[in-house]
Amino acid sequence: MTPATEGAPPAMPPPTTERPLRAMIAAVSPEGVIGRDGKIPWHYPADLKRFKKLTTGAAVVMGRLTWESMNGRPLPGRRNLVLTSGPPVVGAETFRDVPSVLAAEPGPLWFIGGSRVYAEAMPFCDLIDLTYVPDSVPVDGAATFPPIDPAVWDGGALLVHEDDPRLGRREWRRRR
Ligand SMILES: NC(=O)c1ccc[n+]([C@@H]2O[C@H](COP(=O)([O-])OP(=O)(O)OC[C@H]3O[C@@H](n4cnc5c(N)ncnc54)[C@H](OP(=O)(O)O)[C@@H]3O)[C@@H](O)[C@H]2O)c1
């Protein structure tokens, strides 16, 4: 410690300009399908466990149909936000559009589906966390993940899922 700082109060941490986490997370089939008939057409417990680990303590944002697929039960340990143009849902907070959600939640926030939510939230996010499942699912009538523009998004390495070697994983980060 130099004489000049001796006895001085501890320095304040430098101001941070870091944005809160705005991210989306999904599991997709080789065809880009995320859901069919109101359900996720596969079951990989290790990926659900990872989803829980990443999102617990944050807010999760979902469309009305995804909310309904959870039978009205909010995901525990997370602020549950539901997008709908209809009446408020019981058991979660309801919002009309993505900008209202962003204004209401200053902390970390994960968009968890489905298709329209991903498409409308994508311009506001810095991270897309995708799990690639091997199950082939017909695209016709299914919910799909929107296209990812490689000019905007940098796809990191394709990784083997830490907890299930049948699955792949890639984190896409915003270039600009
Ligand atoms: N594989 C995965 O990772 C994953 C993740 C999540 C869900 N899923 C699956 O995906 C399927 C559901 O997805 P989906 O695309 O069909 O439906 P969804 O996005 O969950 O719900 C669509 C509804 O949400 C509301 N909504 C969505 N975006 C909105 C916005 N920006 N502003 C206002 N309201 C908005 C509208 O509700 P109103 O009609 O009430 O206005 C819309 O009809 C299910 O099969 C589910 O299991 C899969």
Q: Which atom of ligand 1 is nearest to the CA of 64?
A: 24
Pocket of ligand 1 from Cβ distances under 6 Å = 26-27, 34-36, 38-40, 62-66, 69, 83-86, 96-98, 112-117, 120, 143
Nearest in space to 176 (alpha carbons), one of 143, 149, 141: 149
**Prior bond of 114 cis (ω within 30°):** yes
**pTM, 2 dp:** 0.92
Instruction: Specify the CATH number of the domain 22-168.
Output: 3.40.430.10
- Using most ligand atoms within 8 A of CB, pick from 28, 29, 34 the residue to mutate for ligand 1: 34
Q: Please, what are the averages of pLDDT over each run of 10 residues along the chain (176 residues)?
A: 46 66 98 97 98 98 97 96 98 98 97 98 98 98 98 96 97 94
Task: Fill in the DSSP letter of residue 152.
Answer: T
**Domain spans in the chain, listed from the N-terminal domain onward:** 22-168
Report pLDDT digits (tens) over 97-137. 999 999 999 999 999 999 999 999 999 999 999 999 999 99
